[in-house]
Amino acid sequence: MAKDNPGDILTCDWNPVIGCQRFSAACRKCWYLDGIFPWQQRLGNIPAQVRPNEAWVFEKRMKVEAL
């Protein structure tokens, strides 16, 4: 869960799938597509080949690890 700063949203929260498309007027200034996605891609948390409007599954995050 994100605790320390807004950047934790894609590194601490469990987000196995990313990607979205603008479907309505409310999406015009999407904080995710315009801000979070490119920022996290620059940080290397999202692979460079992933496009923001395509669904991307982080296969590694889908695996359950034993405690």
Interface with ligand SF4 (CB under 6 A): 20, 22, 27, 30, 32-33
CB of residue 27 to ligand SF4, shortest distance in Å:
3
Nearer to ligand SF4, 26 or 66 (CB): 26
CB of residue 35 to ligand SF4, shortest distance in Å:
10
Tokens of 28: 């015009």
Burial class (CB in 10 A: 0-12, 13-18, 19+), 9: middle
Per DSSP (E only), the strands in 1-67 are: 17-18, 56-57
CB of residue 59 to ligand SF4, shortest distance in Å:
22
